[in-house]
Amino acid sequence: MKHRHLLPEEIDLLLDGEEGFGVAPLRNHLEQCPACQADYRALAAVVGGLESLPLVAPSPAFTERVMQQVQVFEPWHVALRDTGSRWMPQSSIGRVFAGATGGVVAVAMTLVAVWLGQRADAVLFLANLVLQRTREGLMSAAHSVALSLFGDSAAAAIQGGGTLALLAATGALVATVLAVAFGVKTLATAGRRRRS
């Protein structure tokens, strides 16, 4: 290092306080070379000056002005948690009591659920009964309509065919009504054209 002065990057390393094997010879040179010492001191003075620059304060109302334009958003889960914690008693005895009450309520609700589960068969039986009665009523009504419109054989077929026959008969009835309506409309249009 005696044959040349420090390079600018090498002075930067020293200014940045770098440590290591490569820096030791640079420091040795610096101690012995007045020209490099002058360079280093001038730059160190700049760095020292920069590092001692004071912080600049904004106006006292700065925080308030920022907060006026900041949207403070509380997520729902935090709101729920905070609401829950507001309801929670502060004393340890109160918390134990609240916990015990909660436990009792939970056990009671579980028992009610189990009880309802055990009686689900009765609920299903009642539902089936209502369904069956409804179906029988509909079949009877359809039988009456078929009997009056298409005669005994159609009524017997619907009665024998069950739900599928009932649906088929309803479809056929709707199709017949639509076909008749379309036929009447066509005839009326043709009559109007002939008259005009």
Check binding of 196 to other proteins (CB under 8 A): no
Check binding of 152 to other proteins (CB under 8 A): no
Which residue, 9 or 121, has its beta carbon nearer to other proteins? Answer: 9
Angle at 136 between CA 133 and CA 130, to 5 degrees: 15
- Binding segment toward other proteins, per CB under 8 A, in 54-62, 109-117, 118-126, 129-137: 54-62
* Helix (H) or strand (E) run with residue 41 in it: helix 34-51
From residue 13 to residue 52, what is the string marking binding to other proteins with x (rule CB under 8 A)? --x--------------------------xx-xxx-xxxx
Instruction: Take residue 142 and report the two structure tokens written for it.
Output: 């359809």
Which residue, 85 or 148, has its beta carbon nearer to other proteins? Answer: 85
| Smallest separation (angstroms) from other proteins to the CB of 170 | 58
Tell me the CA distances in angstroms from 11 to 5, 24, 85, one per residue in order. 10, 12, 60
Structure letter (DSSP) for residue 10: H
**Do the Cβ atoms of 158 and 172 come closer than 8 Å?**
no
- Contacts of residue 17, defined as CB under 8 A and 6 or more positions apart, other chains included, come to none
Binding site for other proteins (CB under 8 A): 8-9, 12, 15, 42-43, 45-47, 49-59, 62-63, 65-67, 69-75, 78-79, 85, 90
